[in-house]
Chains A and B, each alone.
Chain A
Amino acid sequence: MGTTLTTFSNSTVELINGTQACNVFWQVGSSAVLGSGTSFIGDILADQSITDNGGSSVTGRFLARIAAVTLNNTTIAKSTCATASSSSSSSSSSSTSSTSTPVCADFPPTNNPDLFQINRAGSNATLYFTPVNDHLSYYYIAYGLSPGDERFGVSFQAGLSSGVVNFTINDLNPDTTYYFKVRGGSGCAPGGWSNNKESNSKNPMLPNTGNEPPKSTIPWQISVGVFIGIATFLVLIQKKQRCSSSS
């Protein structure tokens, strides 16, 4: 836009054909003025000033290079792009023509899973974790090669349960150490992450906790003792014989 942006009072910006608010930008060569009660969508990038005459609702941002941004009972909402998961169940998905902000109407789980054990066998890893207690439609497991790394991920549908949840991931590199974490989610509302747990390629082998026992010294002592005993006995016999023969 070359010069100015001016909206009538109570006017509305509408998005059509799946356009998302986060992708709308208004480049203004001088100044922008929103009439009272304008329902506005998009980021305004103005060279001079931006003014709301009063009570406008904005999904986006106001950025003025030189002069002021003047707000007057303005309601501003952050524009967010809907993700793939949000479009599946969000009742306010931006995939339809609407003037509403793409807001997730789902509630996230209120508690986080506790990922307490991972069993590795070959290329498989079975994760064991405590369930979330409410607002659940799926679990998502993220894993990578370092703590916090989320380069891999898998989700699976799940309902509420009271026992331990387990899930097996296939096609892992048996020789690689992975770091796993899991969260629940409800529609477009993800829950909080569990703890991050490291898993080496398999359970370790039982440890070697022994050392070589010292060689026994008993045979040497016994042999010496027996030798001394026999020698003493023979000497005594010999002495007795001498005494007998001399008498």
Chain B
Amino acid sequence: MKFQNSSKQTQEAVKTAPGSPIRLIIPKINVDTLIEDMGVTATGTMEVPDNAINVGWFKLGPQPGQRGSAIIAGHFDGKNGEKGVFTDLDKLKKGDQITIKDTNGASFVFIVREIRIYDPGYANSVFSASESAHLNLITCDGVWDGAKKSYDKRLVVFTDILN
């Protein structure tokens, strides 16, 4: 699927239910990876893939291309210190393109709107409802907290579907 053909498809996509997302492509940071379905852990945190290569889509929310905020998370780094799929997520700038491919063969192009830093925990604005389709990408940021075994910030890239 070529990028230049995607605009018309994205307009159609909002009107019809997309298939499940299977591939995330971000040319700016050389990401082209599989998408796994994710739920919620027993402690109420969004699940993430058990590897640093794939990304995870929050399956209890909208699908990318549906109305609302679809959520995809990816690792900042791997268990052996290797780079994660979203190590360079902070290098995205407003206007950069992100493409999602789904099981129906459709592509959805999203445009970066802004990047925000959050504390760990709840952030309803990331999961907020909307009349149009959005895709929000999440990874870790900040400084490693050995006691909590977590970085102390979360980086969220907000995008809007290309119309």
Interface flags, B63-83, vs A, CB<8A=1, else 0: 000111100011111111100
**Residue from the list B46, B62, B67 in contact with A205, Cβ < 8 A:** B46
The yes or no answer to A198 lying at the interface (CB within 8 A) is yes
- The distance from the CB of B66 to the nearest CB of chain A, in whole angstroms, is 5
Q: Is the CB of B68 within 8 A of A208?
A: no
Q: Is the CB of A128 within 8 A of B80?
A: no
The yes or no answer to B40 lying at the interface (CB within 8 A) is yes
Q: Which of A116-147 contact B (CB under 8 A)?
A: 116-117, 119, 121, 126, 128, 130
Q: Is the CB of A214 within 8 A of B81?
A: yes
- Which residues of A lie under 8 Å from residue B140 when comparing CB positions? 208-210
Q: Which of B19-27, B94-102, B106-114, B123-131 contacts A (4 or more CB under 8 A)?
A: B123-131
The yes or no answer to B13 lying at the interface (CB within 8 A) is no
The yes or no answer to A206 lying at the interface (CB within 8 A) is yes
- The distance from the CB of B74 to the nearest CB of chain A, in whole angstroms, is 6
Q: Is the CB of A209 within 8 A of B62?
A: no
Tell which of A166, A200, A207 has the most Cβ of chain B within 10 Å: A207
- The distance from the CB of A7 to the nearest CB of chain B, in whole angstroms, is 54
Question: What is the predominant secondary structure among interface residues of chain A facing chain B?
Answer: loop
**How far, in whole Å, are A126 and B68 apart by their CA atoms in the complex?**
13
The yes or no answer to A245 lying at the interface (CB within 8 A) is no
- Which residues of A lie under 8 Å from residue B38 when comparing CB positions? 207
The yes or no answer to A202 lying at the interface (CB within 8 A) is yes
Q: Is the CB of B121 within 8 A of A117?
A: no
**Residue from the list A121, A128, A130, A206 in contact with B118, Cβ < 8 A:** A206
Q: Is the CB of B122 within 8 A of A203?
A: yes
- Which residues of A lie under 8 Å from residue B58 when comparing CB positions? 204
The yes or no answer to B45 lying at the interface (CB within 8 A) is yes
- The distance from the CB of B148 to the nearest CB of chain A, in whole angstroms, is 9
- The distance from the CB of A198 to the nearest CB of chain B, in whole angstroms, is 6
- The distance from the CB of A213 to the nearest CB of chain B, in whole angstroms, is 6
Interface flags, A76-113, vs B, CB<8A=1, else 0: 00000000000000000000000000000000000000
The yes or no answer to B139 lying at the interface (CB within 8 A) is yes
Q: Which of B1-50 contact A (CB under 8 A)?
A: 17, 38, 40-41, 43-48
Q: Is the CB of A213 within 8 A of B144?
A: yes
- Which residues of A lie under 8 Å from residue B126 when comparing CB positions? 203, 206
Q: Is the CB of B131 within 8 A of A164?
A: yes
**How far, in whole Å, are A204 and B126 apart by their CA atoms in the complex?**
10
The yes or no answer to B158 lying at the interface (CB within 8 A) is no
**How far, in whole Å, are A199 and B126 apart by their CA atoms in the complex?**
16
- Which residues of B lie under 8 Å from residue A164 when comparing CB positions? 67, 129, 131
Interface residues of B (CB under 8 A from A): 17, 38, 40-41, 43-48, 52, 56, 58, 60-62, 66-69, 73-81, 84, 86, 118, 120-124, 126-129, 131, 138-140, 144, 146, 149-151, 154, 156
A-B contact pairs, 6 of them (CB 8 A): A119-B128, A203-B127, A206-B122, A209-B75, A213-B77, A213-B144
Q: Given known contacts A205-B121, A209-B76, what 7 new A-B pairs fall within 8 Å (CB)?
A: A114-B17, A116-B68, A195-B17, A204-B60, A206-B45, A207-B138, A211-B81
4 nearest A-B pairs in the assembled complex, by CB-CB distance: A210-B140, A214-B81, A204-B46, A117-B68
